[in-house]
Amino acid sequence: MLLEDLHVVLKVAEFRGITAAAASLDMRTATASAALKRVESALGVELFIRTTRQLRLSSAGERYIPQCQQALLMLDQAKRNTKDDLDVVDGELRITLSSDLGRNLVIPWLDEFMETYPNVSLRSHVSDSNIDFYRDSVDIALRYGAPKDANLYGFKICNVPALLCATQHYIDKNGAPKHPHELPSHNGLFYQLYDRTYDVWEFSHGGASYKIKMKGNRASNDGDLVRRWCVAGKGVAVKSCLDMSTDLLSGNVVSLMPEFKPTPTQLWLVFPSRQSITPATRLLRDAFKEKTRGVLRQLIAKDILDDSALN
């Protein structure tokens, strides 16, 4: 019995149809049907009950499919363990990245990683929306904030200070705020996720905290667009120092009210399970740690951040 045939059977069970299963596997329907017939012939039972309208599991199929799934998972884990022992760095990296961080920093890092390890291939999913590992067919997520789901497994990459940013042109035209209470007179540039607009900004200084309700004429669910608006001088924005690092270092934008700290975050590399970690993803984790510390050091050297950013 071929392993490839068993994978087809599991897809037929998942989609409750041979045509849909074949499409998901990028094969002809006739090829998938032949694979199913070979498995049923080898077992001597029918795994599915076929009618003109639908296909459903037989009683034998209901017993066999879960055990088949478990067996294939064990074989896949054995393959991973063997590669781990040999330190084989290959395979496909299916990673999701936030729009701003991904486009402006991480994609070049991934290009460098793939040049070092040419047997690695890449599939990137760039989005600021919440990720579903199974729906979106990804294995790794590089995301701001620690994972809230206890079933997920993650590595913290670094602490990420946030900064209040604007262009010098905007400041010359509208003045530089000196205190959070002055911010409502400025045009805020907002990130928006689903039906929530992040227009309440929080700052801390000397043990005191300030929560400021902002007004603004631009909001987007794309963090990179918020950054572009800020660089174009359309208003003020609170952004991750990593997202704004290139513009800060080049002088396209400046940090405002540095003594008042916006709420910081963390950068995490998240996996759906511990079993999904491979030699390649461990090396990628280490590369991300090295690259982000390098960016933070550059920002510290330019007095944009203080030394605590590396803690």
- Per-residue model confidence as pLDDT tens digits over 188-214: 999 998 889 999 999 999 999 999 999
Residue with tokens 């959070």: 180
d(CA 141, CA 98): 9
Strands across the sheet with 200-205, in order? 208-213, 200-205, 261-262
pLDDT of 85 above 60: no
Lowest-pLDDT range of 69-83, 131-145, 178-192: 69-83
> In this structure, what are the phi and psi dihedrals at residue 303, rounded to the nearest 5 degrees?
60, 25
First to last CA, the chain: 54
pLDDT tens-digit map of 125-167: 998 887 777 777 788 999 999 888 877 888 999 999 999 999 9
Cα 48 to Cα 4, 19, 193, distances in angstroms = 18, 14, 43
Please, is 154 exposed, middle or buried when counting C-beta atoms within 10 Å of its C-beta (0-12, 13-18, 19+)?
Answer: middle
Q: Which are the contacts of 100, defined by CB distance < 8 A and separation ≥ 6?
A: 128, 222, 223, 224, 226, 227, 239, 240, 243
- pLDDT exceeds 60 at position 82: no
| Lowest pLDDT segment from 51-55, 165-169, 170-174, 207-211 | 51-55
CA–CA distance from 82 to each of 32, 61, 73, 75, 278 (Å)? 30, 31, 14, 11, 11
Q: DSSP string covering 233-266, please?
A: TS-BEEEETTTTHHHHHHTSSEEE-TTSEEPPEE
- Distances 124 to 53, 99, 103, 121, 304 between C-alpha atoms, Å: 37, 11, 11, 10, 31
Domains and CATH numbers, the chain: 3-86 (1.10.10.10), 92-160+266-310 (3.40.190.10), 162-239+254-263 (3.40.190.10)
Distance CA 235, CA 204 (A): 21
Rg (alpha carbons) of the chain, rounded to whole number: 25
3 state SS of 41: helix
At 306, give phi and psi (nearest 5°): -100, 175
Q: Which pTM value belongs to this model?
A: 0.71
Q: Which residue has the higher pLDDT, 150 or 254?
A: 254
- Measured CA to CA in angstroms, residue 202 lies from 165, 176, 257, 260 at distances of 14, 18, 13, 9
CB 91 within 8 A of CB 123: no
8 Å CB contact between 201 and 262: yes
The full length of the chain comes to 311
**Taking the CB of residue 175, how many other CB atoms lie within 10 A of it?**
11
Q: What is the pLDDT of residues 286-298, one digit of tens each?
A: 999 999 999 999 9
- Please give the Cα distance from 211 to 201 (Å, whole number): 6
Reported in sequence order, the residue ranges of the chain that DSSP labels E, i.e. its strands, are 48-50, 55-57, 91-97, 120-126, 140-144, 153-160, 162-166, 187-193, 196-197, 200-205, 208-213, 215-220, 237-240, 254-256, 261-262, 265-271
